[in-house]
Amino acid sequence: MIKSMYPYFVLNGNGREAVEFYKNALNAEVISVQLFGDMPQDSEKPLPEEAKNRVLNAQLKVGNIDLMLSDNFPGMPYSVGTNVTTAIILEDPEDTKRVFAALEEGGKVKMPLQETFWSPLYGQVEDKYGFEWQVSTEGKLTNS
């Protein structure tokens, strides 16, 4: 069962500025802001210094709509036009797999479904029409 869907804006290094802009322009409530530097660190893949203060994920409440945004990771491709995705949150991992597979049909996987530190199952896919989706399961991690 789908729990929720959000517009998801991707910025190119000015995410913190955008959070403040949308907070003021849309009278939004800032629910949370996480930076790449807040992630658990991997000693084998150290986080580049220029990524640490970029926004990993921010959530704002605009009226009764949630808006999410993040910065692009330094060095990753970025182009205006593909910088808005849709985040879809599901409650059941099997539903997440089903929705991801359906969106993948005729499209291409950007990030395979996998456990992340914020979701037991998360992936990114571009559908056959060129729209990008962030698909995730809400809930406890299996190793928690």
Looking at the 3D structure of the chain, how many domains does it have? 1
The string of pLDDT tens digits covering residues 22-61 is 899 878 899 999 999 998 888 898 999 999 999 999 999 9
Judge whether 120 lies within some domain: yes
Judge whether 143 lies within some domain: no
Judge whether 12 lies within some domain: yes
Q: Which two structure tokens, joined as six digits, stand for 22?
A: 């949308």
Cβ atoms of 29 and 12 closer than 8 Å: no
**Where does the pLDDT of residue 144 fall: very low under 50, low under 70, confident under 90, or very high at 90 and above?**
very low
**Where does the pLDDT of residue 142 fall: very low under 50, low under 70, confident under 90, or very high at 90 and above?**
low
Of 51, 39, 46, the closest CA to residue 117 belongs to 39
pTM over the 0.85 mark: no
How many CB atoms sit inside 10 A of residue 127's CB?
16
Judge whether 142 lies within some domain: no
The pLDDT value given to residue 141: 59
Judge whether 26 lies within some domain: yes
87 pLDDT higher than 90: no
CATH number at residue 16: 3.10.180.10
Domain that holds residue 20: 2-137
Judge whether 8 lies within some domain: yes
Q: Reduce the DSSP state of residue 91 to 3 states and report it.
A: coil
More confident site: 131 or 103: 103
The pLDDT value given to residue 129: 67
